[in-house]
């Protein structure tokens, strides 16, 4: 199976700024999910957006999905040093297991 | 606390040796998964199991084996046939049952290195 592409691979911002990460994919999907991974740890689920949804919010997170362009974006507003982590998109197609992208490494500088 | 427990956190393998990574969950989940993560890379699926006594190969199953004799446990064996085993291994589980809109719960990972 093909992994999605995340963009950028790495992102460094100042505390208080917004961080935007993008994810593109090639096949049709049931849903797209975003996960966070702190260094040397497991992944933690952040948010799921279904294929018939265009935007979803959870706290400081905003996810958009454009199925015509096969792309999604994750926006973290008012970033904090504690947001420093890697962020992965993962997509589900049919009944197959989630396919993960390569991730974006976010560094938030205090 | 409910969750997924992986052990050990660090594991070292000698040439020609088989090693087994443990994964236990008490979430009453039907589905369990093993992923491999190389430095700076995403996750690649090794094996997954949607029900006890059944499992399927993922994208990179060669050199690995699994068993699913109990709902709570999904051990992964890295065999001597896996020539490049150094990686971070992640176990995950989900409710399963064909639910499309479900999320994965991950363990804290095992770092495997070759001596």
CA A56 to each of CA A6, B7, B66, B95, B115: distance values in angstroms, whole numbers, following the listed order = 19, 36, 37, 23, 47
Q: Is the pLDDT of residue B96 over 90?
A: no
pLDDT the model gives residue A95: 82
Query: Could you tell me what percent of chain A has a pLDDT over 70?
Result: 96
Name residues whose C-beta falls within 8 Å of residue A98's C-beta, 6 or more positions apart in sequence.
A33, A90, A91, A92, B104
Residue in B with minimal Cα distance to A49: B101
Q: Is the pLDDT of residue B54 over 60?
A: yes
CA A63 to each of CA A3, A4, A23, B58: distance values in angstroms, whole numbers, following the listed order = 19, 16, 11, 28
pLDDT the model gives residue B2: 67
pLDDT the model gives residue A1: 43
pLDDT the model gives residue B1: 57
Mean predicted confidence (pLDDT) in B71-92: 96
Contacts with A30 from chain B: Cβ below 8 Å: 100-101
Name residues whose C-beta falls within 8 Å of residue B31's C-beta, 6 or more positions apart in sequence.
B48, B49, B50, B51, B93, B94, B95, B96, B97
Asked if A45's CB is within 8 angstroms of B103's CB, the reply is yes
pLDDT the model gives residue A4: 63
CA distance B10 to chain A (A): 11
Residue B16 pLDDT level (bands cut at 50, 70, 90): confident
Contact A16, A76 (CB under 8 A): no
Asked if B42's CB is within 8 angstroms of A102's CB, the reply is yes
pLDDT the model gives residue B15: 86
User: What does pLDDT average to over chain A?
Assistant: 94
Q: State the Cα–Cα distance between residues B71 and B29, nearest whole angstrom.
A: 8
Contact A16, A79 (CB under 8 A): yes
Interface of B with A (CB under 8 A): 4, 6, 33, 35, 40-45, 48, 58-59, 88, 90, 92, 98, 100-101, 103-109, 111
Contact B55, B66 (CB under 8 A): yes
Name residues whose C-beta falls within 8 Å of residue B81's C-beta, 6 or more positions apart in sequence.
B62, B63
Asked if B33's CB is within 8 angstroms of A97's CB, the reply is yes
Q: Is the pLDDT of residue A2 over 80?
A: no
pLDDT tens sequence across A88-106:
999 998 888 999 999 999 9
């Amino acid at each position: 199976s093909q992994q999605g592409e995340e963009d950028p691979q790495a992102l460094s911002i100042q505390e208080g700024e917004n961080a935007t990460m993008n994810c593109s994919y090639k096949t049709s999907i049931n849903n797209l999910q975003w996960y966070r991974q702190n260094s040397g740890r497991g992944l933690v689920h952040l948010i799921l957006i279904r294929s018939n949804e265009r935007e979803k919010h959870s706290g400081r997170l905003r996810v958009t999905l454009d199925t015509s362009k096969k792309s999604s974006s994750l926006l973290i507003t008012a970033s904090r040093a504690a947001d420093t982590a890697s962020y992965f998109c993962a997509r589900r197609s049919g009944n197959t297991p989630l396919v993960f992208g390569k991730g974006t490494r976010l560094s938030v500088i205090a | 606390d409910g969750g997924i427990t992986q052990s050990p956190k660090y594991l070292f393998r000698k040439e020609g040796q088989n090693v087994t990574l443990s994964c236990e969950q008490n979430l009453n989940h039907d589905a369990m998964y093993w992923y491999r993560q190389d430095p700076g890379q995403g996750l690649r699926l090794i094996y997954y199991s949607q029900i006890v006594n059944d499992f399927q190969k993922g994208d990179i199953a060669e050199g690995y084996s699994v068993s699913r004799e109990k709902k709570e446990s999904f051990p992964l064996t890295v065999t001597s046939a896996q020539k490049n085993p150094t990686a971070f291994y992640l176990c995950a589980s989900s409710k399963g049952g064909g639910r499309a809109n479900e999320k994965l719960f991950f363990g804290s990972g095992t770092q495997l290195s070759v001596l």
